[in-house]
Amino acid sequence: MESSEEKQPVTAAPPDTTAPAESPVGASDRPAPPHSLRHEIRVWTRDLLIAIGLALVIIVFLYQPVKVEGTSMAPLLSDQERIFINKFVYRFEPIQRGDVVVFWYPLDRSKSFIKRVIGLPGETVEIRRGAVYVDDKIVPEPYVPPQYEDLSDFGPVRVPKDSYFVMGDHRISSNDSRVFGPVADRYIYGRAVFAYWPVDHFGSLSTTEADTK
């Protein structure tokens, strides 16, 4: 027996002449075109080569790798340690007390020394039983361990104009301004900024960090 619903006549809907309305598709909703993996690799390779090139330019023209020989700057620097020095920093800023500088040895310019700046031009440096005084004011030196102190006296010595009084942190094993006198600024050609070898010494050699290392 058929149901009344099945007996009802079915009338065909008139054909639609227009497409159903839809919201317009914006450009942001469109799927992005597939990227070429090869293109991405080329872009990354180019950026990497540019970065490496810039790094090499900075290292070659601004920084110089040097090898430390001797223990006069221990414990900050050890024998055979490798560091970078900034060769242009003193063209833009003055030499300051506490800077670890590299300079031509005044008595033999074929040799380079590395020491810490203690006295500035025009200052008077004196050492009393190992304690350093500049213009009669004691200079705190946390970078000199007690076992490296030299308890002898020195000076007073007035630092000439355009010269600097330098000393090694390992006071009992350092050939410095107590021996060869103040160093003229024209002999100072860089400041130690970064240690890179051995890896356990890897890090900055800035004045602040060096003072507490």
The residues assigned a catalytic role are 72, 115
Q: Tokens standing for 18?
A: 């227009």
Query: Cis (ω within 30 of 0) for the bond into 24?
Result: no
Find how far residue 193's CA is from the centre of its chain: 6
Cβ-based neighbours of 30, under 8 Å, separated by 6 or more: none
Question: Cα(84)–Cα(65) distance, rounded to whole angstroms?
Answer: 4
Give yes or no for a contact between 85 and 190, defined as CB atoms under 8 angstroms apart.
yes
Q: Tokens standing for 209?
A: 């960090």
Q: Is 101 helix (H, G, I), strand (E, B) or coil?
A: strand
- Calculate the alpha carbon distances from 187 to 107, 162, 176, 203 in Å: 11, 10, 14, 26
